């Protein structure tokens, strides 16, 4: 039987604390805004309706959790003036003490992108999309952001209506051009998704396509794994192991799902899967060299029903606690058990770690870093949500939110 947390050996505790020290999570600006499902959204009075409010919320999450120093930004939504909006972002960074993180180009909203962006059969539209990519790289440079995080919504709905193979070529060209614009320290993260909005074919549908495109683009292009972007039943941790092996695991978009790309709270449906993903990373790190910050852990969730602030803090805690549980795995012991094919013993150790309640240990770690033991509880008692609800409700009363 697993021992209770308080009697965990010193060495285990140290391993967990070291792991926690190395974990930072990026929060998305859009996680504070009114987002919903394809059927609509329920407007929340406390939701952020401009960039200042998003930075304020992100800063509060960082104050409570201590591990979210950066905010992912969406070019169209957060920097509507493109490069002209950089100065405002820099000012907000100063005011709120959180920095701009990954820069997300937007190639799915404009009417011209009806038949695709980087893969559109019309060269004029493709060129416009490439120009947006280049502008996104320049924005990232100006903000000292390392990562440009690309999700391409392109695809088609009916067989025979688009040339799948010619579109591969267009995509390669576009990513090469983007790569050429990057500074040597920057990275291009290529996200994949099997379907939606397109339902027959999606131009970057899986990790193989993303990997191949990254290779074609250049050495600074890597793959991004969104946990919600796989066919049901896919062994995501195996994909993670492969990407680590190939040296191209650029980062994650965290969320959970039951049926499709549901964008629910990470680990809310299947915490064991998150544990297994973290285990592959920690295991790989035990035996190989990976820089801590090589893997960008980012959240990509959409909360239609939960309060935005509560959901974000809960997400960070959940990810942190599952990471700590994965850090309990004794890699040497597990390797021994695996090599001698002691299947039940290996599995018992593995799932024993998963079933260990690390919350007291993580709470201790937080306190030792001057953070609240329970950030969600601290959020509740801080009155922050009540404050923004009141302020924002008053401000938005005449101007019903039109956030896209
Ligand atoms: C879409 O399904 C993807 O997960 C993207 O990462 C998207 O850019 C993000 O949800 C923000 O729109
Ligand atoms: Zn995503
Ligand atoms: Zn998604
Ligand atoms: Zn998703």
Predicted confidence (pLDDT) per residue in 119-162, tens digit: 999 999 999 999 999 999 999 999 999 999 999 999 999 999 99
The residue contributing the CA closest to ligand 1 atom 8 is 151
Instruction: Please list the alpha-helical segments (H only) found in 182-256.
Output: 207-217, 236-246
Tokens coding 224: 């991004």
The whole-chain average pLDDT of the chain stands at 95
| Domains held by the chain: number | 1
Tell whether 295 is covered by a domain.
yes
Q: 299: closest CA among 131, 154, 101?
A: 101
Tell whether 343 is covered by a domain.
no
Nearest atom of ligand 1 to the alpha carbon of 193: 2
Nearest atom of ligand 1 to the alpha carbon of 300: 10
Write down the pLDDT at residue 156: 98
**In the beta sheet, which residues pair with residue 222?**
189
Q: What percent of the chain has pLDDT over 90?
A: 92
Ligand 1 pocket, Cβ-based, cut-off 6 angstroms? 30, 104, 151, 191, 193, 226, 253, 261, 300
The residue contributing the CA closest to ligand 1 atom 10 is 300
Residue 2 pLDDT > 50: no
Residue 197: cis peptide before it, omega within 30 degrees of 0: yes
Q: Find the 191 Cα to ligand 2 centroid distance in Å.
A: 7
Q: How far apart are CA 24 and CA 292, in angstroms?
A: 9
Write down the pLDDT at residue 293: 81
Tell whether 4 is covered by a domain.
no
> Residue 396 — pLDDT band, cuts 50, 70, 90?
confident
Contact between residue 23 and residue 297 where contact means Cβ atoms under 8 Å apart: yes
Q: Find the 261 Cα to ligand 1 centroid distance in Å.
A: 10
Closest-lying ligand to the alpha carbon of 252?
2
Tell whether 191 is covered by a domain.
yes
Mean pLDDT of 288-292: 83
Residue that has been written with the tokens 């997300």 in this structure: 104
| 264: DSSP letter | B
Q: What percent of the chain has pLDDT over 70?
A: 96
Residue that has been written with the tokens 């990976």 in this structure: 290
Write out the H or E segment, with its range, that includes residue 88: helix 86-96
Tell whether 119 is covered by a domain.
yes
Q: Find the 13 Cα to ligand 2 centroid distance in Å.
A: 33
Residue 66 pLDDT > 90: yes
Q: Find the 335 Cα to ligand 4 centroid distance in Å.
A: 34
Residue 403 pLDDT > 90: no
Tell whether 347 is covered by a domain.
no
| 265: DSSP letter | P
The residue contributing the CA closest to ligand 1 atom 9 is 300
Contact between residue 170 and residue 178 where contact means Cβ atoms under 8 Å apart: no
pLDDT, tens only, 358-392:
999 999 999 999 999 999 999 999 999 999 999 99
Range of the domain at 301: 24-329
Q: How far apart are CA 290 and CA 284, in angstroms?
A: 8
Nearest atom of ligand 1 to the alpha carbon of 28: 11
pLDDT, tens only, 79-117:
999 999 999 999 999 999 999 999 999 999 999 999 999
Tell whether 379 is covered by a domain.
no
Q: Find the 176 Cα to ligand 2 centroid distance in Å.
A: 22
Contact between residue 108 and residue 120 where contact means Cβ atoms under 8 Å apart: no
CATH of the domain at 142: 3.20.20.150
pLDDT, tens only, 318-352:
999 999 999 999 999 999 999 999 999 999 999 99
Tell whether 11 is covered by a domain.
no
């Amino acid at each position: 039987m697993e021992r209770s947390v308080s009697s965990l050996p010193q060495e285990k505790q140290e391993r967990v604390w070291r792991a926690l020290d190395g974990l930072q999570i990026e929060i998305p600006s859009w996680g504070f805004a009114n987002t919903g499902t394809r059927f609509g959204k329920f407007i929340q009075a406390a939701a952020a309706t401009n960039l200042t409010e998003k930075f304020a919320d992100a800063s509060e999450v960082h104050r409570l959790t201590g591990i979210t120093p950066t905010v992912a930004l969406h070019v169209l939504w957060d920097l509507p003036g493109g490069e002209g909006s950089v100065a405002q972002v820099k000012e907000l960074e100063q005011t709120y003490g959180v920095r701009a993180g990954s820069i997300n180009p937007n190639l799915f909203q404009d009417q011209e992108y009806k038949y695709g962006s980087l893969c559109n059969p019309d060269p004029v539209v493709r060129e416009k999309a490439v120009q947006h990519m280049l502008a996104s790289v320049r924005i990232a440079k100006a903000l000292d952001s390392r990562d440009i995080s690309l999700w391409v919504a392109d695809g088609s709905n009916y067989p025979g209506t688009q040339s799948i193979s010619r579109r591969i070529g267009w995509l390669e060209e576009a990513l090469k051009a983007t790569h050429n614009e990057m500074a040597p320290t920057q990275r291009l993260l290529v996200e994949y998704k099997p379907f939606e909005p397109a339902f027959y074919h999606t131009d970057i549908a899986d990790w193989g396509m993303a990997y191949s495109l990254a290779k074609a683009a250049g050495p600074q292009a890597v793959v991004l794994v969104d946990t919600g972007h796989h066919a049901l039943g896919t062994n995501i941790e195996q994909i993670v192991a492969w990407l680590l092996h190939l040296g191209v695991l650029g980062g994650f978009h965290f969320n959970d799902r039951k049926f499709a790309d549901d964008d629910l709270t990470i680990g809310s449906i299947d915490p064991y899967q998150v544990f297994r993903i973290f285990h592959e990373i920690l295991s790989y790190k035990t035996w190989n060299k990976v820089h801590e910050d090589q893997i960008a852990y980012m959240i990509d969730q959409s909360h239609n029903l939960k309060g935005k602030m509560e959901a974000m803090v809960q997400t960070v805690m959940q990810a942190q606690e599952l990471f700590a549980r994965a850090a309990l795995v004794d890699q040497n012991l597990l390797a021994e058990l695996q090599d001698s094919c002691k299947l039940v013993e290996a599995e018992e150790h593995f799932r024993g770690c998963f079933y260990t309640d690390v919350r007291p240990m993580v709470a201790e770690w937080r306190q030792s870093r001057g953070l609240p033991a329970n950030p969600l509880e601290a959020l509740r008692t801080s009155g922050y949500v009540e404050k923004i609800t009141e302020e924002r409700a008053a401000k938005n009363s005449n101007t019903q939110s039109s956030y896209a």
